[in-house]
Structure 1
Amino acid sequence: MRATPIASAIWLWASPEAATAIATRDLPTILRTYRRLNGLSQIGLAELLGYDKSYVSMIETGRRAISDIATRRHIATRLAIPAHVLGVTGTDDAEYQAMLQFGDSTVRLADIARQAGHAVEAVNELWPLVARLEARAAEGHFERDSLILLAQARVALGVSLGTVLPEERLASAARWTGQAVNVAARLDDPRFYAHTLRMHGNELRKAGQLESATTHLHQSLELSSEPPNQGASLAFLARASGELGDRTQFDAALAAYRNLLERNTGSGLLFQPFTLREIYLRGLLRTGRAEEAGRIVHTTIGTPAAPQWHIIERVTAGEVLAHNHEPDAAEDAFRQAIRAGEQHRLPHQIQRIIRATTNTGMRELAAEAVAALQRLRGLLGHRTA
């Protein structure tokens, strides 16, 4: 099933170059950067905006200044740019107050959408809130309620980006969750601070910064008191330890996770039997125990709490099966993951499949995964340099 093309704000947050351009609030700079990051010619941008190429050229070169509010609002809408960046609204207007009032609901609904397999939609819901809060903070407004909401929104945006960005851009997601940690450290709220450390640690892991990831996850575990939160920290810590190849730390984290789960009812995405099994399989593989992983890969424990966890598990199972010389079963698991990964727009899971199938000589399947990744890049506005 092919995903439907979307109008996405992901380009805005996925590149430091985009953030720099937005910070200038200079329309010509923003237009040129948008074209470059999205691979558009001036003709393509003109078609997107509904203008002539010559008109777009004059705006980009500064020969035509746009002072009309309706035109600036139109450009902001078409390019998924926060309207206030182009001077259309101020941060103290009624729109901002309403956004602040319902900000908690926006973050919660975005998290629900991400967990239900709609991370792109979550990004598109979060970016106006984050952009407005960032602008207010930049102007020197540091009310506690606004800062708490800003940290919550930064975490939610970073995690959503970490779900939909390809591997080469996952550092962008970690930057957003890292900024949330910086705010949470000043709020005297240990539970929330633990949450930001936990989510940032996982985004660091996904971006390949494994030592830093384990440091943040240990801190999160020390600050966590409720079993679901402790379990979530242990889940991420076990995964990061496995990817480091640290057998001792992986085994300790997994044993603590299992013991905690045996004493408490599982809940959420991370603290439940299905997640435990997936982390166990992947950790065994990463710490040189593929045969042991092969002995349990055919067992089923629990059900996934969200669509992406089924995909993650299918990729892990495919890797284990391939390492244990079960090509037919591995191919079936990978094909399930490719179809669902494309449907739910999870490029880095498909990138895992490409590596695994390439390393094991499954060339036809690797080609299918590459084609799926290319389609996703087109849908999400991801361009390779």
Structure 2
Amino acid sequence: MWSAGEAAAALASRDLATILRTYRRLNQFNQQQLANLLSCDKTYVSMIETGRRTINDVGTRRHIARTLGLPTHVLGVTDGGDADFAAMVQFGDSTIRLAEIARQAGRAVDAVNELWPLVARLEARTAEGHIEREILVLLGQARVALGVSLGTVLPEERLAAAARWTGRALIIAERLEDPFFLAHTLRMHGNELRKANRVSAAIQRLNHAVDLSADREGQGTALAFLARAAGEQGDRDMFDGAITRFRDLLDSGPAQGMLFNPFTFREIHLRGLVSTGRAAEAFQIMHTGHADATPAAPQWHIIERVTAGQVHLAAGDSDAASEALHTALTAAEAHRLPHQIQRTVRAANSGGLTEITTEGQAALLRLNRLLAPSEPEM
């Protein structure tokens, strides 16, 4: 409730009378109902709201804050950890940005390690009542970043955890009345749902993101995710529509971003063509043009090599497929990306490349051991 615009303005005033009046208005309470909630007399509430009574007692202020779900520090009730928390909030944006840079540079494990303490502190403080808009915005951004980073490093059987974090961010985004953040969260949550094999739900979120995204990069990213989801669902018409709109946006001006660039367009186009039964067309496209396209992040080179292997397999070229998948495996293990190793193994299995399958299973085992939590010392 306190994240709504009117309520946020009341909290920002730090004025108890304003806060009580706003609480009553938003909950459609009269003074007697609020008095009953606070276990006091109606006259007491009236005197506070009209400024005839000032509450200086810390215990009473804490009682009001807890009863109404207020951030306690808004009423001047603080503890020893508030200064430390305020410092963390001040640098929270920087923490998220640095984690995003690490993820995009192929260091998603480092991104998770940076984000987890921030998210844990924010979750704990909001549970205690520190839920004003500034904190809620930061928590929403941190949840998205953590979910996407987890979606990069988790194996397939645990990808639902990444989707849960981006889904929790969506709960916040839908309340903040910020279309840009809502569009971003819908894009990220839709893609994590797709990776967790909830493709129909992903397409619903991504269609909404396409409609809501007002900037070229945001809309291009949403279309890229939508094209991928439609391809995985085998919906040729939806895939063709999304990939065409994606290409038209790319052709309309300079492109930038992890998803909104020629390299990712080409990879998504190839994979979608194979998924919708047009492997011959994908094979032809893979060997023509776009030689100057480069990945925006290391993991995209790995994704593209797996896709190239799938295209070669569909065209019957086992040697080229084996080479592409071997390259993908080596890089995926180096960058600690179990999901891409599992995708490589699936591709190898489908083409009978037993050597690559064995190599991939061994790499996955080594990576799982590396990423497993260490045993506590006795």
Q: TM-score range by the shorter chain?
A: 0.7 to 0.9
Please report how far the alpha carbon of residue 381 of structure 1 lies from its aligned counterpart in structure 2 after TM superposition.
Answer: 1.3
- Which residue in 1 is equivalent to 2:350? 359
Distance 1:172 1:180 in 2: 13
Pairs within 5 Å for 1:104-123: 104-123=93-112
> Quick one: distance in 2 between partners of 1:376 and 1:273?
31
Once the two structures are TM-superposed, the CA of residue 96 in structure 1 deviates from its matched residue by: 1.5
Aligned mates of 1:298, 1:163 — CA distance in 2:
29
Larger Rg: 2
- Cα distance, 1:95 vs structure 2: 2.3
* 8 Å CA contact retained: 1:227, 1:264: no
- Please name the residue that 1:10 is paired with: none
Which aligned pairs between 1:63-74 and structure 2 lie closer than 5 A?
Answer: none
275-284 or 350-359, larger mean C-alpha shift: 350-359
Q: Decide which of 150, 160, 173 is 1:161's aligned counterpart.
A: 150
Is the counterpart of residue 197 in structure 1 residue 197 in structure 2? no
Cα-to-partner distance string for 1:67-124 (whole Å, 9 max, x where unaligned): xxxxxxxxxxxxxxxxxxxxxxx89433221111000000000000000000000000
Deviation at 1:136, TM superposition (A): 1.0
Corresponding residue for residue 285 of structure 2: 296
- 2:323 matched to which residue of 1? 332
Correspondent of 2:169 among 176, 180, 186: 180
Q: Is 1:373 aligned to residue 364 of structure 2?
A: yes
Larger RCO (CA within 8 A; separation ≥ 6): 1
Matches within 5 A, 1:34-49: none
Partner of 2:141: 152
Select 1:273's aligned residue among 262, 283, 286: 262
2:175 and 2:359 map into 1 onto residues whose CA distance is 48
- 1:320 is aligned to 311
Q: 1:219 to 1:97 in 2, by over 3 A?
A: same
1:140 is displaced (CA, Å) by 2.0
Q: Which residue of 2 aligns with 1:348?
A: 339
Is 1:260 the counterpart of 2:249? The answer is: yes
Give the TM-score normalised by the residue count of structure 2. Answer: 0.76
The 2-side partners of 1:363 and 1:275 are apart by: 29
Q: Distance in 2 between matches of 1:91 and 1:343?
A: 43
Choose which of 101, 125, 131 in structure 2 pairs with 1:136.
125
Instruction: Please tell me the residue identity of whatever aligns with 1:303.
Output: T
Could you tell me how far 1:300 is from its partner in structure 2? 5.3
Could you tell me how far apart the structure 1 residues matched to 2:96 and 2:295 are?
Answer: 23
Cα distance, 1:328–1:193 mapped onto 2, change above 3 Å: same
TM-superposed CA distance for 1:240, in Å, is 0.3
Is residue 207 of structure 2 the alignment partner of residue 218 of structure 1?
A: yes
1:242 aligns with 2:231: yes
Cα distance, 1:360 vs structure 2: 1.1
Q: Can you list the C-alpha shifts for 1:262-302, whole angstroms capped at 9, x where unaligned? A: 00211011111001000000000111111111112234521
Question: Runs of 4+ in structure 1 displaced over 4 angstroms?
Answer: none
- How many Å separate the matches in 2 of 1:189 and 1:253? 25
Structure 1 runs not aligned, ≥5 long: 1-89
Contact 1:91–1:135 (Cα < 8 Å) also in 2 = no
Given that 1:297 and 1:321 are in contact with CA atoms closer than 8 Å, whether structure 2 keeps it comes out as no
1:233 to partner: Cα distance: 0.3
Counterpart residue identity of residue 117, structure 1:
G
User: How many residues of Structure 1 are paired with residues of Structure 2 in the alignment?
Assistant: 294
Report the 3-state secondary structure (helix = DSSP H, G, I; strand = E; otherwise coil) of the residue aligned with 2:247. helix
What corresponds to 2:41 in structure 1? none
Q: 1:283 to 1:264 in 2, by over 3 A?
A: same
Cα displacement (A) at 1:382: 7.8
Shift of 1:125: 0.3
The 8 Å contact of residues 238 and 253 in structure 1, kept in 2 or not, is answered as yes
Is residue 91–residue 132 contact of structure 1 (8 Å, CA) maintained in 2? Answer: no
**1:232 pairs with 2:229:** no
Q: Determine the C-alpha separation between the residues in 1 that align with 2:364 and 2:106.
A: 17
| 2:84 partner amino acid | E
Counterpart code for 1:95: D
Structure-2 change in CA distance of 1:324 and 1:382 (3 Å): farther
Distance of 1:170 and 1:91 partners within structure 2: 38
Residues 300 and 367 from structure 1, CA distance in 2 versus in 1: closer, same or farther, beyond 3 angstroms? Answer: farther
- Deviation track 1:219-256 (CA, whole Å, cap 9, x = no partner) reads 11111111011100000000000000000000000000
SS of 2:359 mapped into structure 1: helix
For 2:22, the equivalent position in structure 1 comes to: none
Give the AA of the match of 1:223.
L
Q: Write the distance in 2 (CA, Å) between the matches of 1:253 and 1:361.
A: 32
Contact 1:281–1:297 (8 Å) recurs in 2 = yes
Summarize the Cα distance change of 1:131–1:343 in structure 2 as closer, same or farther, 3 Å threshold: same
